[in-house]
A and B are shown apart, each in its own frame.
Chain A
Amino acid sequence: MLSGLGVFRPVVHAEGAAILEVSDLSVAYNGTRALDGVTFDLRIGERVAVVGPNGAGKSTLFKVIAGVLDPTSGDVRVAGCSPRGHICIAYVPQRSDVDWSFPVTVEDVVMMGRYGKLGFLRRPGREDRAYVRICLETVGLEDLATRQIGELSGGQQQRMFIARALAQESSIVLMDEPLNGLDVSAQERILEILDALKARGVTVMVATHDLNQAAEFFDRVMLLNRRLLGIGTPEAVFTAEHLESAYGGQLRLVETGEGMMVLNDTCCGGH
């Protein structure tokens, strides 16, 4: 393995290579499989939606890619190396997993993204503060920099974490349900920022429940339910057969509301 690369050293990425290669990845917790034989590649700058029911293994997949969790079997390569050799993979947590009463300000959180580059014993300097400023401006939070994080709205909280991913100078950003519970304008704002990330060649994976959104705003969609059921264009992946095997009895839930319309269009248009 390449763990000898040095834990704190960022890895220089080979030009033109797949940014992420996942091969035959399986993860088991206490004997039950959270992920089973998942294989796919992502190219630099791609934007992929990861869709699947609760417990499909979306968070597990992200944690393995981030190098936080070790796979039971199979392999993950980020720019050709083990994820543990990189500090360029940013994980944006679900909002419900964050302690919003923690005594940190917006700029404190974004500055944490710089800590990986600072190294042991060094304090952030003027350049780091300038960098954090630019990241805050990119997501439009410069006016809220000194607010305590609990004072932000849901959309602003999500943008703060994107700014932290930028401060981390990440090449891959993994976002766990970033659009959940946000109103439409807040969602649109985040999708705009994701466009800006794409322009910078940042690869983004977004876990979402919303099939409609996944189909509309992403280059490719991935349908996951422990096994990888499909990755590609929405037309190819969101087929009745795939959705049935992903959601099974839950399919009725998907068919309520507006989701139903898109589902029909997608599956019938494809045939």
Chain B
Amino acid sequence: MIDFALDISLTVNGEPVPERVEARKTLVDFLREDLCLTGSHVGCEHGVCGACTVRVNGEIVRGCLMLAVQCDGAKIETIEGLSDSGEVADLQTAFEQRNALQCGYCTPGMIAAAQDLLKRGGVPSRDEIREHLSGNYCRCTGYHAIVDAVESVAQARAGGKA
């Protein structure tokens, strides 16, 4: 089983990536170990904590619940790509200003999940923000500051004033 590897070809943060990968390797391990994209983190390894959240073909997924070989032909975006493109720059600034992170380990996944909510448009309520981010565990902040930061970006994007 460990000898069983497959060739895959995918796009990661806009770059074409042809690789040979073990069939059993998860997407997040592939990103971290094979591509050295260490911004995606491993927390629970079974789809609960959200630290490994990345975007696959526009949808956020758990990098620990998807195999790399399932991503053949897919378009993957990690926090490194989201940062370089500037897509989440306002969220990042709000998290920094509001101290919506402490150790920062959950933050890349949290930002990906928040962006997933905000790109739907509108200004979600605090309860809706809390609901949407409940698949992303943070042990440091108690979430209040994260909700503040996401809410402030939602308002700003909607053209409202803080």
Partners in one complex: no
- Interface residues of chain A, those whose CB is within 8 Å of chain B, are none
